[in-house]
Structure 1
Amino acid sequence: MSDSTALSAKDLIAQYGGIALDKQNDLSAVIGDNNWTVDLSEGVISFGDQLTFPIQIMGTFSHSSETFLWGWANTQSDLPENLLQQAAQLKAYGEEHQLPLFTTGQFECAINDVHYIGLIASGMFGSSAYYVADYGSGALLVTIKSEVVDKVRTDSPQRVLTVFPQLISLFEMDHQQALASYLKAKAFDVIMKEKELSATYNGSTIVATFDELHRLASLNGQLS
């Protein structure tokens, strides 16, 4: 991704990245080591014989060319229109807010950028999770909506202490903004100061400090 694209999307990954990455833990707990299959005519992804979830297609990543192709730009594959609604909404959002990440049909990227898009899309649309379905020569990025995944969601404050450091190690963002958004999405009451954040939920407290550039300096929890 170009610098301008990355900067344009930083607010979105900060707003949605924490809770979206949190949800990936729920998906992993549900699907385990099951292999995946996709049925585009039915609009579903299956993991083993018992788990089948509706999907929206974001796009595909090519390992050989290291490019991402948005679903709405993939005219050769004749993808079902009803599976491209979220991708089309992201394109419209990108056009409105001048975000090339969402409006450039195909662009060079790394596989980590595919997860970046997945986190933003999952967060924006309130999905249960996203999934990168690797098929050898490339990978299909989809969002998933499933009550099965939603039901295993945990409000454990402990997860914040593991998920958030992972998030900021993977992507550039305003750490203070990202942590506040993540905690609010998990129903914490958040109090912000210049270089400090404190949050409480159901008897648990999380306190974080930041440097002058809003980078995380410390993250601690008193968990009930």
Structure 2
Amino acid sequence: MGFLDKLFGKNNTKNAEASTTTKEVPTPILTEEGLLEQYGGIALEKQLDFGELIGDNNWNVDMTAGTISFGDSLSFPLQVLGTFSHSSETWLWAWANQQSDLPDSIQQNALQLKKYGDDNDFGLLRNPRFDFSTNELHILGIIATGLCHADAYYIADYGQGAMLLTITDSRIKQVRHDIHDRVRVVFPQLISQFEIDHQNALRSYLRTKGYTIEETKTTLTATKDSDIIRAEFDDLSRLTNLQG
């Protein structure tokens, strides 16, 4: 997964605008591809910020305290989404893991995703256990970051398996580089790693960053203050040119 592998930790020892009278309710997105298109760009930006903050420090989790630490000086509150088994290649949601006896306080994001799955009959988020792969952990991490409004996700690999965590902390926001040129760094990586509609994904990404969008079937122009981004697509919505 390229740069995303940095956020796969190996343990060395262990919105739509509201009108003046009514608030528009967004239509739920019911596919993995649709959720990746909606949240992928901004989630990868957050991963870059988080990676810069934690550096190459090893991780350590304290379930009682509900924290994950990196090195001696960085500690963040965590939410456990679930665990992945390397041997069986299966995913198990935290709320379905009866043996772990996790505190309810660190399962809130997992339960929030379950509610989304229950409300919209979305199997990925409601089925307790299913076949999975390590690459799909990144997909689930991006979806969780978006739906739960988290600042990052982290894959804490402990040898026999891996925990998928979400992290929300103001220090991650403080290192955020919300700059114009970052789109040209993040978006090509997004579309190289996931099979999604490029035009839909770029539109969602730029709208999240506050750009005004004008587009045709094969072009997209985004404007924010004096910054302009132009993109061109082929007839299959694949990106052919991106300029800032």
Fold shared by both chains (TM-score > 0.5): yes
Match of 2:175 in 1: 152
* Cα RMSD for the two superposed structures: 1.2
- Counterpart secondary structure, 1:190: strand
What is the CA–CA distance in structure 1 between the aligned matches of 2:240 and 2:231, rounded to whole Å? 7
Given the two structures, how large is their TM-score scaled by the length of structure 2? 0.85
Question: After superposition, where does 1:49-198 map in structure 2 within 5 Å?
Answer: 49-198=72-221
Structure 2 residue identity aligned to 1:143: T
For 1:4, the equivalent position in structure 2 comes to none
Quote how far apart the aligned CAs of 1:107 are: 1.1
Give the Cα separation in 2 of the matches to 1:89 and 1:128: 16
Q: Secondary structure at the match of 1:157?
A: coil
User: How far did residue 142 of structure 1 move?
Assistant: 0.5
Alpha carbons 2:155, 2:164 under 8 Å: kept:
yes
Q: Which residue of 1 aligns with 2:55?
A: 32
Pair 1:23-2:46 in alignment? yes
Which blocks of at least 5 consecutive residues in structure 2 are unaligned? Answer: 1-29
Structure-1-length-normalised TM-score: 0.92
1: CA distance, partners of 2:109 / 2:211: 28
1:105-150 residue CA offsets vs partner (Å, 9 max, x unmatched):
1111111100100011111222111101111111110000111111
Letter in 1 for 2:223: T
Q: Distance in 1 between matches of 2:84 and 2:101?
A: 17
Does 2:66 correspond to 1:43?
yes
CA–CA distance in structure 2, aligned partners of residues 44 and 64 of structure 1:
27
How many aligned residue pairs are there? Answer: 215
Give the equivalent residue in structure 2 for 1:215: 238
Contact 1:9 1:99 in 2 (8 A): no
Percent sequence identity over aligned pairs = 52
Could you tell me how far apart the structure 2 residues matched to 1:22 and 1:53 are?
19
